[in-house]
Amino acid sequence: MSMTEIDVDNCGITHYPAKVLGGPAQPVEKIDDNIRRLVAKMTDLMVELKGVGFAAPQAGVPLRLFIISLDGSRENVRVYINPTVKPEGSLEQNEEGCLSVPGIYTKIKRYSRASVTALDLDGKLFSEQAEGLYARALQHEFDHIEGVTIVSRMPTTSRIAHRKQLKKLEEEAEKKV
């Protein structure tokens, strides 16, 4: 997929089980106006849907790019392009939701800390250590660019508990085809 193919105006929230959420995303080849417009659109969607993180595949674009704003504000959005996230520390179970899996909150095991290395919108490489919610958000968004959603991470008991909502999302996806 070349960068010029991103139709930013038509990007919107993509729900499970959309195909774009189920496979690894492609690296961003160059940071241009198209990518900047995509980031602006992703920010709009994340703020509007009250999220703290948003990955390009959630906007229907299979690129290795995500944003995080721990307080959900536009001002605090950070951009991570072609990121590498390394989980560290102990596993902790905590409730998580996902804008692409609406109506479902489930306990997900994640590492308590993580390190991230990524490019920002100016193409500068940066690295950070994260813990708590920030570490969890990094792991969650990195999962998205690897083609993993909370649906594949949730324990069987949660899958059973949420089967009606999952089935509803699957049926809605079939109608769109």
Distance CA 121, CA 125 (A): 10
Opening angle at CA 162, ends 159 and 166, nearest 5: 90
- Give yes or no for a contact between 92 and 104, defined as CB atoms under 8 angstroms apart: no
**Lookup: tokens for 2:** 């070349």
CA 166 to CA 160: how far, in whole Å? 9
**Span 94-144, pLDDT tens digits:** 999 999 999 999 999 999 999 999 999 999 999 999 999 999 999 999 999
The bridge status of strand 125-131 relative to strand 105-119 is: antiparallel
pTM here is 0.95
Whether the predicted pLDDT of 22 surpasses 80 = yes
Q: How many domains are contained in the chain?
A: 1
| pLDDT higher than threshold 80 for residue 2 | no
Lowest mean pLDDT among 1-15, 53-67, 136-150: 1-15
Structure token pair of residue 81? 């392009």
Cα angle 25, 126, 50 (rounded to 5 degrees) comes to: 60
141 is catalytic: yes
User: In which domain, by residue range, is 51 found?
Assistant: 3-176
Q: Within a 10 A sphere around the Cβ of 9, how many other Cβ atoms?
A: 8
Question: Which entry of 75, 96, 141, 171 is annotated as an active-site residue?
Answer: 141
**Per residue in 55-107, pLDDT tens?**
999 999 999 999 999 999 999 999 999 999 999 999 999 999 999 999 999 99
Q: The CATH number of the domain where 67 resides is what?
A: 3.90.45.10
pLDDT confidence bin for 4, thresholds 50/70/90: low
